[in-house]
Amino acid sequence: MASHLARRLIRRPVSALFFLRSYGHARHISHYILRGGSVCTKPMREAMEFFPRPSPYKCWSRSFASDGDLVDAVVPYMGESITDGTLATFLKKPGDRVEMDEPIAQIETDKVTIDVASPEAGVIQKFIAKEGDTVTPGTKVAVISKSAPSDTHVSPSDEKLGKDTGAAVPAEKKIDTQVPKSEVPKVDKLKTPPPPPVPKTSPSEPQLPPKEKERRVPLPRLRKRVATRLKDSQNTFAMLTTFNEVDMTNLMKLRSDYKDAFVEKHGVKLGLMSGFLKAAVSGLQNQPIINAVIDGDDIIYRDYIDVSIAVGTPKGLVVPVIRNADRMNFADIEKEINTLAKKANNGTISIDEMAGGTFTISNGGVYGSLLSTPIINPPQSAILGMHSIVSRPMVVDGNIVPRPMMYIALTYDHRLIDGREAVFFLRRIKDVVEDPRRLLLDL
């Protein structure tokens, strides 16, 4: 009989609510959790009127355990994506008087802070959980007595008043013996200062008066997106930058010797970027951890190399991706770079051509940058920064000679990549750029 009644109530949630309402332990329930995580705090009658008949929604009452006079306050439902939280602090103490729905503790999750409310009016008998415990929905936090007298616990203000007079007397009686009730509101009105004037300016208005020769324009959407991604990168990654210097003599000589033949055969100019990209591919193959990424509690290793090239445009910085760079030769790389750079400057580049990428190269040297610490392009784990070529005195075979030198920088996520791998990666780029013959011999 009981199981048959339970099945009928489950199929008819509205009838179930009327059934629960007929019992004394459920008549005060005023919180209902709707499917999807929203909470209804209206009284029972209004909550009943909220559902159309027949209602497609199911309704659950706030769960708490009851043992006659004692009830348990439990951790409430915290949302679909939140499975547990940390008991941060207690807002009450054992012996404190609490009203129904009054918060007694706070639960911190990875998204929000949730209150644990008292299911009934009464006095807190004891706490079951402790601060710092990891709790889940339904975990018992405190035991509350519904029938405990309200004067069993003396509040801190009453304790102080009792110490001054030598006896613990109720606060209301003490006020009656000192100040007539009719005079209390009058004294409060005299002592209460007037509320401060409400500021007329809103946060969106400028805080400083405008000055001459200034103009205000809306932030472009591209700049907003760049700002958000870069700030998220700083907040997420443990970024560390390591540096090295490269002698550009041999790569520049290779370019000078074969630039005409290269243009004649492939139709594009031979640049320095293709040499660095081939060197980066070799470094990523030697240190695959730099091509990997952290995803939650896992490490994702990529068996492909898609290199993002940072391109500055009049509208802002864009990062097109060269797919499968490990399968390209110098000519293929130069052609792809030229095609993507033209699209970026013309504003015709698509989202798909900028999506993805496992590693980024940023060439600040074209603007004259001598040294910088680039910021990782999420969700990648590292970025290579190239800089300007400067002729500096170097010691070669015991002699001081001028050499075209470039500083290179690697910013990496130190959570995943150690300094050893980062230094080996830069050393590989240095070796390949200084002696491009290594690529032919796979050395």
Q: Which residues are catalytic?
A: 414, 418
Q: Measuring CA to CA, how many Å separate 92 from each of 74, 156, 277, 430?
A: 15, 12, 62, 64
Query: How long, in residues, is the chain?
Result: 443
Q: Where are the beta strands (DSSP E) in 133-233?
A: 134-135, 140-145
Find tokens 């339970």 and name the residue.
6
Residue 283: Cβ-neighbour burial (10 angstroms; 0-12, 13-18, 19+):
buried
CA-based end-to-end distance of the chain: 82
Q: Where are the beta strands (DSSP E) in 225-273?
A: 239-247
Strands 66-67, 70-74: parallel, antiparallel or unpaired by DSSP?
antiparallel
Helix 419-434 to helix 272-286 angle, to the nearest 10 degrees?
Answer: 140
Question: Which of 139, 138, 424 is closest to 282 using CA atoms?
Answer: 424
Strands 307-309, 359-363: parallel, antiparallel or unpaired by DSSP?
parallel
Helix 272-286 to helix 249-266 angle, to the nearest 10 degrees?
Answer: 110
